[in-house]
Amino acid sequence: MPELPEVETVRRGVSRLYLGRKLLQLSVTGPRTVRRHDPGLLGLLRGRTLCSVGRHGKYLLLGWDDGQVLVAHLRMSGQLLAAKPSEPLPLHTHAVLRFSGASDLRFVDPRTFGELFLAGMGRAFLPDGGARPGSSADVAPMAAKAGGLALPEELAGLGPDALDVGPAHLGAALAGRRAPLKALLVDQRVLAGVGNIYADEICHVARLRPDRPAGGLRPAELRRLAVATHTVLTEAIAAGGSTLSDQRYRDVLGEAGSYQFEHKVYGRAGQPCMSCGRPVERATIGAKGAYFCRRCQR
Ligand SMILES: [Zn+2]
């Protein structure tokens, strides 16, 4: 499932290829893909110009010159793929956005958990709008005039973007919580963007066991956790994200990421820890597995 680094890689690709272009046509053929509202509403975007490409956690926010925001959530298997209109549609294509310049952006999603929806504007998060400076966004000049991109009300329950958090937020969010650390790291209300893979990698780099009660972390451990979160996510973005053996995650150009080759614990049960050589273990935490090193992580 794409997590923050994968979605950020897709965001950068969409921004590079489509920012400032006009949407000529939009067709939806997968009824589950647009399920929050009448799919016909997306027709409102025809003729609009894409003026910002933002992200908060795992959500992509495509902002248009009339202030509307199209939210894309890839969930399990969604892909946004660039193509020429003449190229054959891949199986499981559920929506096609045709832009000026003869370029299509296709939403492909075999498992159909992903979705697209139009959202109202809510709290502003660009620097000129105020509250949320850190979430990633590229903005065309006309967006500044429109007052910038906003975090839609539909997403107001999300915690801060995981790239923005420091020890103070983590300390406040985890205080008094008995749930295992990993369970809270993947809780999108606590931290938006971290999932199964990066929670394990972050815990390893922070030298913290994923099954530690989250509320028991000391200040120095919270600082390590904040630094590890930023380091792991930033390095994963630089590597274009992680493409696992299912080959599902691809960037906008269809390329795989390479961070899977840098995973220190995720998916490596029984293999030697890269720091100390002891075999990496897999434990079950809640309903999920977690990979960690018993010697390096306390
Ligand atoms: Zn180790």
Distance from residue 290's CA to the centre of ligand 1 (Å): 14
CATH number 1.10.8.50 given to 162-292: yes
Torsions phi, psi of 119, nearest 5?
Answer: -125, 150
- Joined together, the tokens standing for residue 162 give 């995981």
pLDDT at res. 126? 40
93-115: string of b/e by CB count within 10 Å (b at 16+)? Answer: bbbbbbbeeebbbbbbbeebebb
Distance from residue 204's CA to the centre of ligand 1 (Å): 9
As a whole number of angstroms, the distance between CA 110 and CA 75 comes to: 11
46 Cα distance to chain centroid? 26
As a whole number of angstroms, the distance between CA 295 and CA 237 comes to: 28
- Joined together, the tokens standing for residue 22 give 């006009």
- Whether 162-292 and 4-155 are alike in CATH topology: the answer is no
Distance from residue 205's CA to the centre of ligand 1 (Å): 10
- Domain positions in the chain are 4-155, 162-292
**Strand pairing category for 103-108 and 93-99:** antiparallel
Distance from residue 161's CA to the centre of ligand 1 (Å): 29
- Using the 8-state DSSP alphabet, how is residue 66 labeled? T
Q: Helix (H, G, I), strand (E, B), or coil: what is residue 83?
A: strand
As a whole number of angstroms, the distance between CA 77 and CA 277 comes to: 34
> What element of type H or E holds 205?
helix 196-205
CATH class of 4-155: alpha beta
Distance from residue 280's CA to the centre of ligand 1 (Å): 7
Count of residues in the chain: 298
Distance from residue 298's CA to the centre of ligand 1 (Å): 10
The pLDDT tens digits along the chain (298 residues) read 899 999 999 999 999 999 999 999 999 999 899 999 999 999 999 999 999 999 999 999 999 999 899 999 999 999 999 999 999 999 999 999 999 998 999 999 999 999 999 987 544 444 333 334 346 778 765 444 333 455 778 898 999 999 999 999 999 999 999 999 999 999 999 999 999 999 999 999 999 999 999 999 999 999 999 999 999 999 999 999 999 999 899 999 999 999 999 999 999 999 999 999 999 999 999 888 999 999 999 9
